[in-house]
Structure formats: structure tokens, C-alpha cells
Amino acid sequence: MSKDKSLRGKIKFAEITHTGKVREHNEDAIGLDTDIGLLVLADGMGGYNAGEVASGIAVQTITELAAAGAVREDRNDTDPTTGLMRQTIVLRDAVARSNKIIYQTAQSQSHCEGMGTTLVTAMFYDDKVSIAHVGDSRAYRLRGGQFEQLTMDHSLLQELVDRGFYSEEEAQRSTNRNYVTRALGVEPTVEVEVQEFEVLPDDIYLLCSDGLPDMVEDEDIHLTISTFNASLDVVGQQLVDLANDHGGRDNVSVQLAQVIDSFAAKKGLLTRLTGMFR
């Protein structure tokens, strides 16, 4: 089956990953499928470099299942049970499946014991984007000068902020930012958080591992994207350089998507007629 080519020329993409200045290995993994507007970013963890295995499994599994689902499903249809777009369900189920594979691998391979990975993934379709995440890998959006974090970390620190024990400013300065409360591969099942957003031309979306926001303040990330947005590749390189200039204590991965034009799906006759009588 041929892939949906409707996104070509509608969205620009860029991605970069770097080991950083302290770690010996890069346990982050990234994947990009421009035909279906899919970005996948995983930040692995575990002894004996098993984090590389976990993040690699996550990216490969989600990329393959999302691509198959994009061809199989009507991407513009809403599931009557959940109220979610079917593409969001495809993404959520692909993440859940990757969790199962990582968990089973960790149980069966002694050198992979205890491995896991955080994850953030986004898929663009019909002037929308579905975002799924587990852990503290993040998604941001720059729209009309406003820079906004779209995902909330599944971390102990974020829970303490939510309960009022820390302010957002105190959390930024905390040294205990990396205790995640949710990750892929740690338990047989995982709760995948999914969101859907309307997309507008000129939006810029950023997916990143915690190696970026742990080293670089959100204001500086915003300024970098705004300054260099003529080239997403330059934005990505500048963000990685900033993280490393500020210490580079972790692997750092960045994925960017800039919306150039509307990519609304072509509606069939039946869909148009149905819409007329709603």
C-alpha cells in the first residue's frame, strides 16, 4: 500500500541526538517518518547500556505500528467509545505494545534486567497532532510568540508541584528532577497519556529528552527557536550546543516540526453529506 503523501511540503522536520559531555553512551533513540508525520523520541535507562535496547525497541515498535495503523485506519474518524481520533488510539496502542515488548525482553534477558525508557511521540494528520508520552520526555509548542509545554512530566517532582509542595520556580532549581513515576518496560502494563491539539500554520513543535530542559531554561529554548527558526536544523544544533555548554550531563535529543501550510484531509462525499445534517 502506498503511504499518505499529503504531508509532504506541509511540515518541515528536523532531528538531532547527542551523547552529551559526561555519559559514555547515548541511550536516547529517535525516529522520524515524514510521510505520515510521525516523530518518536525515547530516553532509555538501565544498567550495562540496556537503556539503548529499551529506547531502540520503543522507537522501532512505535514507528512500525503507527505506519501500519496510518494505512489501515481512517485517520479523520473519531472512535465512538473514547471520543478520541482513531489516529490517537493507534499511537496509544503502539506505545502500550512497545511497553509489553520491552518488559518481556527485560524479564527474559539477564543483561537487560531493570531496563526501561521514557517516551514522547507525535503524529500529524488533518490539521491536528496527537501526542502520547510516558515519563519526563517532553513536547513543547511555539505559537504566535507563546512558548508552551504541552506535556506534564510523570515525575516525583511534578507530583510535588501539583500538590503544592514546590512552586514551578523551585522545581526548576531542584536537583531531584529525574525520578520518574512512569516509564516503558518497568511494569507489564503502563498508562499512556494522550492528547490531541489543533494545528495552525507557523506552529513549531519541539520534542526533547530531559537532557535539554535539565540544562537549558525554557526561556532560552524559546529564544533559540525564535532566533534561528529560518532553519530547523540550525535550531536543533543550537539547542544541543546550549545543553552541552551548560554542562551536558545527560544525552540530549531534539525533534522539531514546523507547520508550513494546512494539511486538512480531503473529505469524501459521504463524510461531507453526513456533516451537513449534524
DSSP states along 120-144:
EEEEEETTEEEEEEESS-EEEEEET
Looking from the CA of 166 toward its CB, the CA atoms found within 13 Å total 17
Q: Which residue ranges of the chain lie beneath pLDDT 50?
A: 1-4, 269-270, 272, 278
Looking at residue 124, its pLDDT comes to 96
3 located within any domain: no
Over the stretch 220-266, which tens digit does the pLDDT of each residue have?
999 999 999 999 999 999 999 999 999 999 999 999 999 999 999 87
Q: Which helix (H) or strand (E) holds 33?
A: strand 28-33
Hey, CA dihedral for 259, 10, 57, 82, is it positive or negative? positive
Q: Where are the alpha helices (DSSP H) in 73-162?
A: 86-108, 156-162
What is the domain extent for residue 39?
Answer: 20-276
114 located within any domain: yes
DSSP code, position 34: T
194 located within any domain: yes
Count CB-CB contacts under 10 A for residue 9.
Answer: 10
10 located within any domain: no
Looking at residue 3, its pLDDT comes to 40
Number of structural domains the chain divides into:
1
13 located within any domain: no
8 located within any domain: no
Q: What is the CATH number of the domain that holds 187?
A: 3.60.40.10
15 located within any domain: no
pTM of the prediction?
Answer: 0.89
131 located within any domain: yes
Looking at residue 159, its pLDDT comes to 72
